[in-house]
Amino acid sequence: MGNILPWGATATGHRRIEHKQLKRNEGFDYFHQRCRAMDIERRDYILAMKYEELRQGLQNDSLTPTEVHQAYGWKILEVNDKINCVAEMITESFTMAAEVERHFHGKPNKPAFYGIPVSVKGNFFMPGYDCTIGFSKFIGMPKEVQCSLVSTLIELGAIPICLTNIPQALLSYACSNPVYGTTENPLSHGMTPGGSSGGEAALVAAGGIPFGTGSDVAGSLRIPAAMCGVVSLKPSESRLLITHSHGGFPGKCRLGLSFGFFTHNVGELINIFDLYLNSEEHLKFSPRSIPMAFDMSKVYKKEKLRIGYFSEMSFLPPVPAAQRAVRHTVKMLEADGHEVIQFDIPHPQLMAELVLKNILPDGGVYMKELFSGDIVDDYMKQFLLLLKIPDCIRKLASYGIQYFCPQLATMCRIGMNSIPELRYMQEQTDDYAREWYEQWNNLNLDAMLCPAFPVTQVPHSYPSKLGACAVYTGLFNMLDCPAGIVPVDKITEKDIQDLNNENIFSTGYNLILKDMRDGCSKDKGLPVSVQVVTLPFREELCLHVMQLVENLASKHPH
C-alpha cells in the first residue's frame, strides 16, 4: 500500500501532492487578501444571521452578494484553519458574486438563492478544478464540465465558494485522504465528521457556510449529519438526479444514489428543497429527475400519525446512546398523541448481507484497482488490507470468525464470482424490498423512526474497522426510501456508563462490538440523532415528521 509501492510511484505521488498543496495555498492566500479589509462589525453582523435572514437580506438589498461573499470567505478560512474541511477555494467566485450583483441589485424578482455562498462537495465536478477523490494520480486533470446540481444553484443565484474534503475513494466515513489531509469534527477534534460528505457537514456545523451540498449512496449525507449534529435528508434517487459527479464506484447495483443538502434545522432544509425542486432550472439541468413538484401542503397533517420504530437490528446492536435517542423520541411522540408501534425488521441477517453485497458487489475488485499504484490514506489501510486477502481465503475464514464476530464474517463473504450470482442477488434485493413495503403497508405506517447510525462520534481510525455499521444507512438506499437525520439530544454520562456495562452492551469476544465501545467511550456531551424514514417519493412527509421530531426535542430535552 502507501509504504510498499515502488519508490518511483510513491515519489511521483508525493511530488504531485506538494504541487497541489502549493496551488491550494495560493487560493487560501487570495481569499485572505480579498476578505481581510472588510469591516469586522459588518462581517460579524452578516455571519450571525440565520439562513432565512440572510436570504431575505439579499433579496431586499439590505445586503449585497459581494459583502456576504467576503464575510463567508473569511469565515471559511477561519474554520478551515481549525478543522481542514476545505479542499480548494473557488477563486473566480468573487467575479461571480460581482456579476450577479450587477445584474440583480436594486431589481425585483431576484433568483431564489441570489448571492448566497454555497460549498460544493469534492466529488462534484467544477470546470478548471481537479476531482481527485483523494488520489494523487488524478491531480492535474481539471474537469471541463460542471456538476448539474452546481449549475442549477448558480442559475438560481447561488455562488459556489469552495470545494470540500472527502474520504479517499468516497468509501469511508473517516474524512481523510493523502491529497488534502484529514478533516476534524468541529464538535470534537480527534473525531471524524463522518463521510463521505464529511467536509460539507463539518463546514456547516462550524458556521462556515449557510448550507452545504452532498451525495448519499450508503449514508454519505446521513452519517456526517449525525456525527456533526446537523440536519440532512436523502431523497429517493429519481427525485433529485444529477450529472457530472464521481459516484465513488461503478455498478452500485440496487443502491439508490441520492443528492441533497446540509442545514442547521429542518425548516431551512424544507425551504431549500422547495426552491430547488420547484425551479425550472432543476429539470433543465437534470432532465432524468421525476418532474414532481415539491409541495409541503399536500402532506395530510393528521393529528395522530402512525409511526413504526426499531431501536436496534439483531445483526448489529447500536451503542446505548443511539438506542436511547430512539426510545426518547418514541416517548415524546406518544406524549404528543401519536401512535408508535414496533417494526420487526424482516430477515435481518439476509438484509445485512444484501446491503453489504450491494455496496461491494465485486468483493472489492474495483477498489483494489483504483488504489493500485497510488498512496493509500492511513485510515484506509486496514480496510484495503481486508480486500487484498484472496476471496477464497476470506470466505473460508468467515466460518471460523462466525462464532465470535458474525458481522465480520458476513463482510468476509461479500462479493459475487459470476453473472448468475449477481442476478440472483439483485432478485433477492427486489424480493426483500417488496416484503418490506408489504409489511409497512400491512401496519398502515406513515413513517418510521430508527437509529441514525449504530455508533455516535468515533476517532478517525475506527471507520475502517466498523464498515458493518453501514447497514443502518445503506438499507434505505437499497429500499430507495427518503431518510433524514434530526439531532434530538446530547450523549449523557449514563449513556457512557451503559456502553461500558457488559450486562447492557455485551461485547464478549466480538471485535466489532469492542471497537464500537472503545470508539464511542469519549462522546459525553456530543449530539445524538435519530433517522426518520418514509416510503419512496414521500420526501415532504419525511420532512414533516422530521420537523415534528425537531420541535418536540426542543421542548422536551432528556
Q: Which of 148, 196, 258, 289 is catalytic?
A: 196
Q: d(Cα 183, Cα 199) in Å, to the nearest integer?
A: 7
Burial, 39: exposed, middle or buried (Cβ in 10 Å; 0-12, 13-18, 19+)?
exposed
Cβ atoms of residues 318 and 438 within 8 Å: no
Catalytic annotation present for 555: no
Q: Which of 148, 151, 215, 220 is catalytic?
A: 220
Q: Which of 20, 110, 121, 234 is catalytic?
A: 121
Cβ atoms of residues 306 and 444 within 8 Å: yes
Cβ atoms of residues 105 and 68 within 8 Å: no
Strand partners, 483: 234, 533
Beta-sheet strands, E only, within 377-508? 447-451, 483-490
Beta strands 306-309 and 447-451, pairing class: parallel
Catalytic annotation present for 388: no
Q: How many residues are present in the chain?
A: 558
Residue 220 is classified by DSSP as T
Q: d(Cα 273, Cα 262) in Å, to the nearest integer?
A: 11
Q: d(Cα 357, Cα 361) in Å, to the nearest integer?
A: 5
**Which DSSP string do the residues of 121-190 spell out, in sequence order?**
ETTB--BTS---TT-GGGTT--BSS--HHHHHHHHTT-EEEEEE---GGG--SS-EETTTEEPPBTTBTT
Cβ atoms of residues 469 and 549 within 8 Å: no
Catalytic annotation present for 220: yes
- What are the residue numbers of the active site? 121, 196, 220
